[in-house]
Amino acid sequence: MVCKDRREFIQQGMMQQGMIQQDVLVRSVTAATADVFSMMLDMQVELTGFAADSKPAGNGLISLVGITGNWGGSGVFCCTPALAMIICDRLLGGDRRTAIDEEVLDVEAEVTNMMIGNIKNALESVTGPLAISVPAVIHGRNFQFRSASGLTGTALAFGTEGEPFEVRVELARASQQVAARCRIPVPGLAHV
C-alpha cells in the first residue's frame, strides 16, 4: 500500500474492510492527541497502552463530545486535576493554578473538542460526514463511566508531564445503534 500521507494511510486502511478497524482507530486517536498536545500546548505525549474498560475515578475530569452522522458515538478525554491545570496554564499562560476553576474546565472542553474534531476529520472519508457536539465536562470524585455495548472503539492511556490521561472513541453505524436500542416504558410518560 503506497500512501502519500498519514490521512491517506488511515483512509486506505478503513476502506479495505468497509468498516472502522481497531488499528485505524488507535492510529487516529494517537495522531490527533499528539498533534493537539504538540501544536497547541507545546507538550509531548507518550502512548502507554490501552486503558481499562471501566474503573472508578478517585478525583478527575472527564470531557465528553458526542459524535453523530451515519456513525455515532462519543469521544472522551479523561485526566487528573493536576494535568488539567497544567494544560490550562500552557494554553492560557499565567501563574501556576492550584485549583480547578471555570478557565480550567473551559480549556479541558476546548482541548477535547480539538482532539475529537481531528479524529472525526480523519474518519469522515469512510464514515461519511460526521458532526460533533459541544463538550460537556464533569469534575468530581468517585465516579465511574461505561460505554454502551456494541460500539467499535478504543481507549488509550497516555502520559505527559508525569501525569496520566486517557482518550476514548467509540462509534457504531447509525443502523446498528437503532437495532441495538430497546424501549423501556417509563410509567407516567407519554410514549410516541
160-170 confidence digits (pLDDT tens): 999 999 999 99
CA–CA–CA angle 171, 47, 58 (5° rounding): 75
Assign a CATH topology to domain 6-180. Answer: Chemotaxis protein chec (3.40.1550)
Q: Which of 174, 157, 146 is nearest to 73 (CA)?
A: 174
Name the average pLDDT for the chain.
81
18-41 confidence digits (pLDDT tens): 467 788 889 999 999 999 999 999
Q: What's residue 109's pLDDT?
A: 97
Q: What's residue 129's pLDDT?
A: 94
Q: What's residue 22's pLDDT?
A: 84
Residue ranges per structural domain of the chain: 6-180
84-120 confidence digits (pLDDT tens): 999 999 999 878 888 999 999 999 999 999 999 999 9
Rg of the chain taking only CA atoms, in angstroms: 18
b (16+ CB within 10 A) / e for 78-101: bbbbebbbbbbbbbeeeeebeebe
| Residue 140 clears pLDDT 70, i.e. is over it | yes
Q: What's residue 51's pLDDT?
A: 87
Single pTM value for the model: 0.78
